[in-house]
Structure 1
Amino acid sequence: MYGHSVLIFGMGRIGSAVYDEMYDQVDGHILGIDLDDKVVERHIKTGRNVIAGDASNPEFWSRVQHRESDIHLILLSMPNREANTRAAEQLREHGYKGPLVATAKYSDDVEKLLEAQIDEVYNIYEEAGTGTANQMQKFLILPREGTPDQTHP
């Protein structure tokens, strides 16, 4: 983990999108971590800096050398709340005091993740809906008051 400002655990669609979006912002000092060797291999072929690892496994942390001052932000984007919660616990037990961000699929998970010392939680479906609505607004042209509505015959 040495030399990386941002860590992303879970390199599925969301983790990959976050990686790509943040890469330039942190001058490439970003590392993706995924449990699935095939996923890791696919990312390496596309030029992403990704390693295999299980963030919820204490043994993973005992093998990892890192300096807390290097890591400024961690995203937990694994497919279920339990994995994100275990990873947060492992990170805190190993001395990480910086911000933890996680993704959640269900609104019930948001509160439980916040209780696990995660600083910010994003419900992926809620965020996708908000993002889609924001993008759709550019296509929405409402008729001005006093002018006929030309969209309906």
Structure 2
Amino acid sequence: MSSWSLAFSERIRYLSEAEGITIEVWLSSDEDTIIPIDAKLDTASTFCVFKPQYAALLGLDLEKGSRERIRTATGSFIAFGHEVTLTVEDLEWPATVYFAADESFPINVVGRVGFIDRPRIGLVDYESLLYLNAYENSLI
């Protein structure tokens, strides 16, 4: 039997009573504008998608981003992609994230492109713990 080890620099405890896994991420569009956002970790989501009001708070012109029709199991919606810096705990990286066009978009999600594909991730759901580490520091 093989044995594998991974090391993680960040450990995030999330509320097990909450629906899904909610973590705090920080988005910044420049050095002066950084905002905290509670987002659901969604392993089935291709993209990171946020409510449109966060684009305005970051000083971004929503519709000047790259337009994308995002499809889900129940339909589709329009969103606009923008380059930002995404931060979780002490880890940060550049990412293209999307802001929904619909003002009533109900949720913020971090998905595969821009989040799951950036750090190493470990999940121990029965302990409500999410572990993260930058790729270059993850193997021991």
Which category of TM-score, normalised to the shorter sequence, fits these structures?
Answer: under 0.3
Larger radius of gyration: 1
* TM-score of the aligned structures, taking structure 1 as reference length: 0.22
Which structure has the highest strand share of the two? Answer: 2
Which structure has the highest helix share of the two? Answer: 1
* TM-score of the aligned structures, taking structure 2 as reference length: 0.23
| Structure with more relative contact order (C-alpha pairs < 8 Å, separation 6 or more) | 2
